[in-house]
Amino acid sequence: MTTKKAVFLLVSVVTMLSLLAAGVFGQSLQKENVYRHLSVFTEVLSIVNNSYVEQVSTDELLDGAFDGVAQAVDEFSFYVPPADMADFKKWTESGAGREAGVTLTKRFGYAYVIAVRDGSPAAKAGLGPGDFIEKIDGVPTEKMAVWQVLSRLRAPGTEGRKLTVVHGGMTKREDMTVVFGDLAPSEFPSKEIDGTPYLKITDWNASTAQALESFLSDARKKAKSGVIVDVRGNASDDVDIAVKCADMLLSKGTITSLTGRRIEAKSWPADKATVYDGEVLVLTDPSTAGAGEVFSSAISGNGRGRAVGLPTYGRAIVQKTVELPSGGGVRVTIGHYTSPDLKPIKDAGVRPDVMADRVIPEPDKTGAGDPILEKAISLLAAKTTKAAA
């Protein structure tokens, strides 16, 4: 591709992207500002093309520039080149990303693990929140989009994927092999810890509401001092289920709302009926994202209970794929869910009412070794002692 042709393509596509941005975000761009930025953009392209130590294809430079435009909005938005669009559509329609049991984003160029579903092959292999996946079968994830990383993880094969992982807070690399098969049906383990009913919500799906309702009904009969609902490691996006679950505990207030400049605003008010009226503690940490954030925010923000642990990730969003005339596309965030006081959850996540120590847990069956769970148990124990006095 000649430099002249590249610049013409650059101007055409960036102008089109500018118009697209105006449509998506409702911005009114000044014509002189567009051309001023385009002139700088083409100058940078020319310098890199002519002066970089190695030859770089113009197509590669342009794809990187377009991806940079999308990622400048937030870490979850990205550009899909025309050559990859067919594979992206196939991946989206297959639901393969969810089936991997891993929720990813990109940090410092590499695949970063937000959450790993309990009981999944990835969890069993030792992959966890805060880990970086540096390579998959020897191929660096640096130049892969998140969907391409997930697609590779779920690629057919009986021997599994060989991952090079850097665990959070460490510099030493670890090689592991993970066989990403079909995920087992969601389980919602419940138990009593020092007499306190505890439920782990691993996912938000059709079974979640039934599991929570059964758990709360049983807890009400036992008249305990309170219950613990754990949504750590849960980054599922089924907000409607989370809203339904939060409504089991709320008799008033706003559960959440959905806002965005180009989408219809929506709000979910709580109804008066409740399943359980006792104390509720919701456990959170940075591996809590999406629907889990909506649930914990609804309980904490309405004063119905307390969130205990660490701030959540900040990923309660709605996205849309906009196809481009070039054949490529842009995956962009078009809406975000809010806390009951109408603050976007994505801005800072959900901050707990009670903070716990930031320690990687290695808990035993009683919860010992898990500082967040220990903190919640101590809070309920203190309440019981105070009531008895």
Domain of 297, CATH number, reads 3.90.226.10
In a domain, 107, yes or no: yes
CATH number at residue 91: 2.30.42.10
CA dist 213 and 193 (Å) reads: 19
CA dist 371 and 135 (Å) reads: 32
pLDDT band at 158 (very low <50, low <70, confident <90, very high): low
pLDDT the model gives residue 25: 45
Same domain? For 369 and 221 the reply is yes
In a domain, 253, yes or no: yes
Residues 99-140 pLDDT 10s: 678 999 999 889 999 999 988 888 988 999 999 999 999 999
In a domain, 349, yes or no: yes
pLDDT the model gives residue 285: 97
DSSP string, 259-300: E-TTS--EEEE--S--S--SEEEEEE-TT--THHHHHHHHHH
Per-residue CA distances from 268 to 78, 152, 205, 253, 338 (Å): 29, 37, 18, 9, 11
Q: Supply the range of the domain harboring residue 204.
A: 190-317+334-388
Same domain? For 67 and 137 the reply is no
pLDDT, average across residues 240-267: 96
Amino acid letter, 303: G
Whether 176 has a pLDDT exceeding 90, the answer reads yes
Same domain? For 268 and 196 the reply is yes
Domain boundary among 129, 151, 178: 178
Same domain? For 216 and 145 the reply is no
pLDDT the model gives residue 326: 87
The tokens describing 125, both together, are 């292999």
pLDDT, average across residues 144-168: 85
pLDDT band at 31 (very low <50, low <70, confident <90, very high): low
Q: What percent of the chain has pLDDT over 90?
A: 58
Contact 282, 307 (CB under 8 A): yes
72 φ, ψ to 5°? -65, -20
358 against 193, higher pLDDT: 193
pLDDT the model gives residue 289: 97
pLDDT, average across residues 254-265: 95
* CA count, 13 A, side-chain hemisphere, 106: 24
Mean model confidence pLDDT for the chain: 85
Whether 1 has a pLDDT exceeding 50, the answer reads no
Residues 301-351 pLDDT 10s: 999 999 999 999 999 999 999 999 889 999 999 999 999 999 999 999 999
Same domain? For 228 and 360 the reply is yes
Q: What percent of the chain has pLDDT over 70?
A: 84
In a domain, 185, yes or no: no
Whether 32 has a pLDDT exceeding 90, the answer reads no
Q: Which of 12-16, 173-177, 226-230 has the lowest mean pLDDT?
A: 12-16
pLDDT band at 37 (very low <50, low <70, confident <90, very high): low
Same domain? For 65 and 93 the reply is no
pLDDT the model gives residue 382: 78
In a domain, 54, yes or no: yes
Report the chain's C-alpha Rg in angstroms: 23
Strand ranges inside the chain, DSSP E:
78-80, 102-107, 110-116, 132-136, 139-140, 161-166, 173-178, 190-193, 196-200, 226-230, 254-259, 266-269, 279-284, 306-309, 317-323, 329-337, 354-355
Chain-centre distance of CA 328, in angstroms? 24
pTM of the model: 0.84
Structural domain count of the chain? 3
Whether 216 has a pLDDT exceeding 80, the answer reads yes
Helix (H, G, I), strand (E, B) or coil at 148: helix
Instruction: Please name the residues in contact with 263: beta carbons below 8 A apart, sequence gap of 6 or more.
Output: 318, 334, 335
CA dist 345 and 290 (Å) reads: 9
Same domain? For 225 and 256 the reply is yes
Other beta carbons within 10 Å of 334: 16
In a domain, 232, yes or no: yes
CA dist 38 and 33 (Å) reads: 8
Same domain? For 114 and 226 the reply is no
Same domain? For 244 and 173 the reply is no
Same domain? For 296 and 363 the reply is yes
Domain boundary among 155, 178, 201: 178
In a domain, 127, yes or no: yes
Whether 11 has a pLDDT exceeding 50, the answer reads no
DSSP string, 220-231: HHHT-SEEEEE-
Same domain? For 168 and 209 the reply is no
The tokens describing 215, both together, are 């758990």
pLDDT the model gives residue 4: 42
In a domain, 350, yes or no: yes
Domain boundary among 116, 143, 178: 178
Contact 282, 311 (CB under 8 A): no
Same domain? For 142 and 224 the reply is no
